[in-house]
Structure 1
Amino acid sequence: MSDYALEARGLTKTFGGFHAVKDVNLKVRRGSIHALIGPNGAGKTTCFNLLTKTLTPTAGQVLLDGQDITKLRSAQVAKLGLVRSFQISATFPHLTCLENVRVALQSNNGTAFQFWRSLKAVEPLNQRARELLAQVGLAGREETPATELSYGKKRALEIATTLALDPKVMLLDEPTAGMGHEDVEPITDLIRKVSAGRTILIVEHNLSVVSSLCERITVLQHGEVLTEGTYAEVSTDPEVITAYMGGVDD
């Protein structure tokens, strides 16, 4: 088995004559938390979409556990264990926390769209749903509608629904975006906790979160890899500093 859970080789995406992502090579070591950072407009979101097959690359390959998944659809790679948070963690606001996680569990066991089934048929999933809610700090909130949760708790619920798919590799797109200071630390601690036994690739603008979580960091600029290294290495790189100072909106 490859040492790398997720790889991109020469990954490229063009829109007309514009290179949104160009010749990106990325190796995410198994069991690590790896960050993909860069100024606004660097191509991070496009890269995430290519890795999870929301977009089809113009050129290059994506490998999961050494297996070429470039030609697979997003639903197929999710079943193989590569899950992007927003794809399955968009919560249903008027369902309870328990119901939200149970829907995700149903999708994992092939009963997601069997709406004619009675509630008794899905009751066996309730215990696992409760365990996942407890894991993300939502024990006791099982019957709370998602719409009544604070922003930070909603993000925790989203992570619980992501975990319901039992991912091998989790791609988290700006998990602390829009949070107040009081919510950032709990979500950071939660990501660290759920990373046990998993590989995580994260896009995050909050560099203090990146510095505390991530072992390896890849910096994108204009759709290309600018540099890669530890936080200490990339944060003092003159090219990275210049890129951030001169960033434009994504």
Structure 2
Amino acid sequence: MSDIILEARNLTKSFGGFVAVNDVNLRIERGSIHAIIGPNGAGKTTMFNLLTKFHTPTSGSIRFNDTDITNRKPAEIANMGIVRSFQISAVFPHLTALENVRLALQRGLGVSYHFWRSQKMLSDLDAQAVARLDQVGLKSYAHTRAVELPYGRKRALEIATTLGLEPELMLLDEPTQGMGTEDVGAVTELISRVREGRTIVMVEHNLGVVAELADTITVLARGEVLAEGPYSEVSRNPQVMEAYMGVSAEEQEEEA
């Protein structure tokens, strides 16, 4: 099997006359954490939606495990092992943490949305659900309704439900969006802990999180790839500094 789990080739997305993503090539290595970053309006969200099939590209192709998924639907690629999270927590607010994860686990039984199944059949999944909750530090919150969880723990619950779908590739959309320092640290540690045996692609605005987690970083600007590599290289790239901080290469040399 190839070391490249997901590959975008010459990916372009236009909305009318506006080109949001322009001829982007992206290769995600199996088992890595790959971050997509960039200033506001860089095309990060559009790129993420293309990779997860919420948008169809204007041109170009996407391959997952050497299979062309360019024209597949989101539900199809989820069944193939690609599962995404969203900027806004997407758990069921009035179900308990255990019930949320158990619902995700039902897919393995082929009864994903059969809410009328017997309580015994669903209860058989409780041990697996508790194990997933324990994995993300939520075991003690198993019987707490999602709506009652603090924001950071809701995001942890979302990751637990994502893990319940047994993804080969996890795509995390701004996992630390709107969090305080303590929650950011907890979610960063959580992502590091659950990466074993899977690949993670993340769009993330917090460069401290990116520096700690990402093996490879792709920087987008105006819909195009500006730079790519490990944080140690990307963070020193003059074009990246200009895109993020508005400091030109000449100004950087003067300050040096």
Q: TM-score, normalised by structure 1?
A: 0.95
SS at match of 2:125: helix
Q: Which has the greater radius of gyration?
A: 2
2:87 and 2:173 in contact (8 A); partners too: no
Residue 101 (structure 1) aligns with: 101
Q: Following TM superposition, by how much is the alpha carbon of 1:95 offset from its aligned partner in structure 2, in angstroms?
A: 0.7
Once superposed, which parts of structure 1, at least 4 consecutive aligned residues long, lie more than 2 Å away?
Answer: 86-89, 107-110
Residue 222 (structure 2) aligns with: 222
Structure 1 Cα separation of the partners of residues 20 and 232 of structure 2: 27
Structure 1 Cα separation of the partners of residues 44 and 154 of structure 2: 23
Tell me the percent identity: 62
Alignment of 1:12-31 (within 5 A): 12-31=12-31
Unaligned runs of 5+ in 1: none
2:13 and 2:20 in contact (8 A); partners too: yes
Structure 1 Cα separation of the partners of residues 201 and 83 of structure 2: 10
Q: Following TM superposition, by how much is the alpha carbon of 1:89 offset from its aligned partner in structure 2, in angstroms?
A: 6.4
Residue 235 (structure 1) aligns with: 235
**TM-superposition CA deviations, 1:174-218 (whole Å, max 9, x none):** 101111111111110100010001100111111011001111100
1:127 counterpart = 2:134: no
Residue 162 (structure 1) aligns with: 162
Whichever residue aligns with residue 126 of structure 1, its letter is D
Structure 1 Cα separation of the partners of residues 246 and 92 of structure 2: 39
1:3 and 1:29 in contact (8 A); partners too: yes
Query: Which moves more between the two structures, 219-228 or 101-110?
Result: 101-110
1:97 and 1:157 in contact (8 A); partners too: yes
Q: Following TM superposition, by how much is the alpha carbon of 1:118 offset from its aligned partner in structure 2, in angstroms?
A: 2.0
Q: How many residues get paired? A: 247
Query: Which moves more between the two structures, 122-131 or 106-115?
Result: 106-115
SS at match of 1:239: helix
1:193 counterpart = 2:183: no
Alignment of 1:56-135 (within 5 A): 56-86=56-86, 90-135=90-135
**TM-superposition CA deviations, 1:95-118 (whole Å, max 9, x none):** 100001111112343312212222
Structure 2 Cα separation of the partners of residues 225 and 47 of structure 1: 11
Structure 1 Cα separation of the partners of residues 244 and 194 of structure 2: 30
SS at match of 1:228: strand
In structure 2, the CA distance between the partners of 1:82 and 1:89, relative to structure 1 (3 Å rule), is farther
**TM-superposition CA deviations, 1:145-169 (whole Å, max 9, x none):** 1111111111100000010110001
Alignment of 1:18-57 (within 5 A): 18-57=18-57
Structure 1 Cα separation of the partners of residues 205 and 34 of structure 2: 14
Q: TM-score, normalised by structure 2?
A: 0.93
SS at match of 1:86: coil
1:216 and 1:230 in contact (8 A); partners too: yes
SS at match of 2:193: helix
In structure 2, the CA distance between the partners of 1:89 and 1:179, relative to structure 1 (3 Å rule), is closer
Q: Following TM superposition, by how much is the alpha carbon of 1:88 offset from its aligned partner in structure 2, in angstroms?
A: 11
In structure 2, the CA distance between the partners of 1:87 and 1:174, relative to structure 1 (3 Å rule), is closer
1:153 counterpart = 2:153: yes
SS at match of 1:49: helix
Whichever residue aligns with residue 13 of structure 2, its letter is K
Structure 2 Cα separation of the partners of residues 31 and 48 of structure 1: 19
Whichever residue aligns with residue 68 of structure 1, its letter is D
1:5 and 1:66 in contact (8 A); partners too: yes
